[in-house]
Structure 1
Amino acid sequence: MPQGRLFAFIDWDDTLKVTNDLYYQISRKNAELVLSHLPGAGLTPADLVHMVHEIDLEKARRFGLRAENYPSSWRDCYRKVAASLGVEPLEEVARLLAANAETVSRLPQPDYPGAPELLHFLRRHQFEITIWTSGNSDIQTGKVERSGWAPLIDRLVVVAEKTPETLKEALGGRDPALCSVVGNSPRADVLPALAVGAKAIHVLQSTWGYDQAEIDHRHENYHPVSSLREVPALLCRLFSLPRPS
């Protein structure tokens, strides 16, 4: 049994809660709206969804994870397709596309299998539970509050970018050897955890292009799992805790 309290830093979007699927739902809706106004584009909804993904990805790389990236990507996409057809884009359509896109952060987020059970396991074993997430603080705080899980969570830390430096800052004086970072992103969860000496529990769930990064799969602190349901048993093994029943 390790000396001192254990710490869990858990990602929110597409680790505990489904997120990418919600973006896809809104993107399909917006793609159909664009094509209804530009029927001569010769594009499919999937073509437009891919186009917006690439625009959004470029904005994330240039400007970081801003709340306005996704809505503005739909405006840009619509104007680009209209220009390719020699058609004047309608401002009311551009506004509607952006408004639709802005709703994605307020949609109900389904749980990933094993998410509430993991939080209850951590609480029973007296882990300090930190939700460590990136993006807009108001948006991320709202997601946690609407989930009903706030009583299970000790801290919410929202950063502009999840990096080794921001993880070190979030750790404060906590011993990284007693810390596990649980998340789906190689770039934002795994690499920072390995860099600071924490255990990286890589949940192999949905992600997007911005999250991709090369990781050392042979690192002693790298632990991939296919589901959150595997995490309690893994933590028991890593920290010599009583096995979950």
Structure 2
Amino acid sequence: MPDWTIGFDADDTLWHNERFFRLTEDRFAELLSSHMEGEGLRARLLEAERRNLGLYGFGIKGFTLSMIETAIEATEGRVPATVIAEILAMGREMLAHPIDLLPQAREAVEAAAQQGEVVLITKGDLLDQERKLAQSGLGEIFDAVEIVSDKTPATYLRIFARHGGRHSMMVGNSLKSDVIPALAAGAWGVHVPHGVIWELERAEAPQGHPRFREIASLGELPALVAELGRRA
């Protein structure tokens, strides 16, 4: 049995993701600028995303459908077919975008694989997450891959019980999805801040929690795992 099971988030932890959503959102606002000013449109889009999470889940496809819904609302049903076609093209472009690894991502996963079992734990569309993992070149390093519909304490309890290290840890950029529910499941939660974060992923840091840690970059992870192992 390994000492550690170390879970890694994917989007904006191992590779860039949110910045492509922001760029597409900017293009969407420009596309609809004659119907609604930018900030109002962005607020409507965010509300549509929030409303649709339970139906479409996380990822680009749900985002694209939310853009279409927002365009229909903003134009009071008069949105031209050419605009719908442009929104669909933007979604396809996002789905085809090449993967851009974050600094020290490969090194961090390789080092963690020497310290325990490493598991990719990511939420979102199955096909898109599989595509990104394949293009990242990191797939062969992971002992297991878990693509889930959402990240809850029950999700982490199930995954860490199945992979069975004496100690478990989740590493990610989202306090809401990667850290707080992992702590609730009894694991260590390691926050690696990313400069761009989706509004629906914002949460307060659980300062003072004995199993919460924050590191400036993935390069600090191996030393942290070693330190916690010595203290365990």
Please indicate, yes or no, whether the TM-score normalized by the shorter chain is above 0.5: yes
Matched-pair contact (CA < 8 Å) for 2:60–2:91: no
From 170, 175, 179, the equivalent of 1:190 is: 179
1:65-80 pair list within 5 angstroms:
65=58, 67-80=60-73
| TM-score, normalisation: structure 1 | 0.83
From 227, 233, 243, the equivalent of 2:217 is: 227
Aligned to 1:217: 207
* Distance (whole Å) between structure 2 residues aligned to residue 214 and residue 96 of structure 1: 37
1:108-123 pair list within 5 angstroms:
108-123=98-113
Aligned to 1:149: 138
* Distance (whole Å) between structure 2 residues aligned to residue 174 and residue 76 of structure 1: 40
Matched-pair contact (CA < 8 Å) for 2:6–2:170: yes
Aligned to 1:98: 88
Asked if residue 82 in structure 1 is aligned to residue 72 in structure 2, the reply is no
1:157-196 pair list within 5 angstroms:
157-175=146-164, 177-196=166-185
The alignment of Structure 1 onto Structure 2 pairs a total of residues equal to 230
Q: What is the Cα deviation at residue 240 of structure 1?
A: 2.9
Structure 2: unaligned runs, 5 residues or longer: none
Q: Which amino acid aligns with 1:54?
A: E
Aligned to 2:15: 17
With 93-102 and 62-71 compared, the bigger mean Cα shift is at: 62-71
Matched-pair contact (CA < 8 Å) for 1:74–1:98: no
* Distance (whole Å) between structure 2 residues aligned to residue 94 and residue 63 of structure 1: 18
Q: Could you say if the C-alpha distance between residues 61 and 232 of structure 1 is closer, same or farther in structure 2, counting changes exceeding 3 Å?
A: same
Q: What is the Cα deviation at residue 129 of structure 1?
A: 1.2
* Distance (whole Å) between structure 2 residues aligned to residue 175 and residue 27 of structure 1: 41
Matched-pair contact (CA < 8 Å) for 1:8–1:127: yes
| Higher Rg | 1
Aligned to 2:52: 59
Q: What is the Cα deviation at residue 12 of structure 1?
A: 0.2
Matched-pair contact (CA < 8 Å) for 1:31–1:49: yes
Q: What is the Cα deviation at residue 228 of structure 1?
A: 1.5
Q: Which amino acid aligns with 1:95?
A: A
* Distance (whole Å) between structure 2 residues aligned to residue 211 and residue 18 of structure 1: 15
Q: Which amino acid aligns with 2:10?
A: W
State the secondary structure of the residue aligned to 1:131: strand
Aligned to 2:4: 6
Q: What is the Cα deviation at residue 128 of structure 1?
A: 1.2
Q: Deviations over 1:110-154 (max 9, x none)?
A: 22222111012123x242111001112121111100111112111
* Distance (whole Å) between structure 2 residues aligned to residue 152 and residue 63 of structure 1: 30
Q: Deviations over 1:73-132 (max 9, x none)?
A: 21122222222xxx8221231132133124323312322222111012123x24211100
Asked if residue 43 in structure 1 is aligned to residue 33 in structure 2, the reply is no
Matched-pair contact (CA < 8 Å) for 1:71–1:98: yes
